[in-house]
Amino acid sequence: MNDQMVIDKAKASLGEKALDITNPAPRRIFIKLKVEDLLTAVGWLKTEMGFTHLATISGVDLGQTFELLYHFANNYTCVNLRTEIPRDQPRLPSICSLIPGAILYERELQDMFGIIVENIPDGRTLLLPDGWPEGNYPLRKDWKYERPPEVIPGGKK
Partner 1 sequence: MKFQIPIGPQHPALKEPISLRMTVEGEVIRDADIRLGYNHRGLEKLAEQKTWIQNIYLTERICGICSHSHTTCYVQGVEKLMELEPPKRGLYIRTLVAELERIHSHLLWLGVAGHEAGFDSFFMYTWRDREIVMDILEIITGNRVHYGINTIGGVRRDLDEQQVKRILDSLDILRQRSEYYKHLGTNEPSFVARLAGVGYLSREDAIALCAVGPTLRASGVAMDVRKDDPYAVYDEVPFEVCTADTCDVLGRTVVRIKELFQCYNIIEFLLKNLPAGPVAVRAPRRAKPNEVVSRYEAPRGENIHYIKSNGTDKPERLKVRAPTLGNYAATIQMLKNGFIADVPLIFAAIDPCICCAERAVSLVDARTGQEKIISLNSLKSLSLKLSAGNKRKREAEWPL
Residues binding partner 1 (CB under 8 A): 24-25, 27-28, 52-56, 58-61, 69, 71, 73-78, 80, 99-105, 125-131, 138-139, 143, 145, 151, 153
8 A C-beta contact, residue 81 and residue 72: yes
Q: Which is nearer to partner 1, 41 or 103 (CB)?
A: 103
Q: Which is nearer to partner 1, 129 or 135 (CB)?
A: 129
Min dist. Cβ of residue 42 to partner 1 (A): 13
What gap in Å lies between CA 124 and CA 115, rounded to an integer? 13
Min dist. Cβ of residue 86 to partner 1 (A): 18
Provide the residue count of the chain. 157
Min dist. Cβ of residue 98 to partner 1 (A): 9
What gap in Å lies between CA 120 and CA 28, rounded to an integer? 28
Q: Which is nearer to partner 1, 15 or 63 (CB)?
A: 63
Min dist. Cβ of residue 37 to partner 1 (A): 21
User: Element (H or E) spanning 133, and its range?
Assistant: none
Residue 37 DSSP one-character state = G
8 A C-beta contact, residue 119 and residue 97: yes
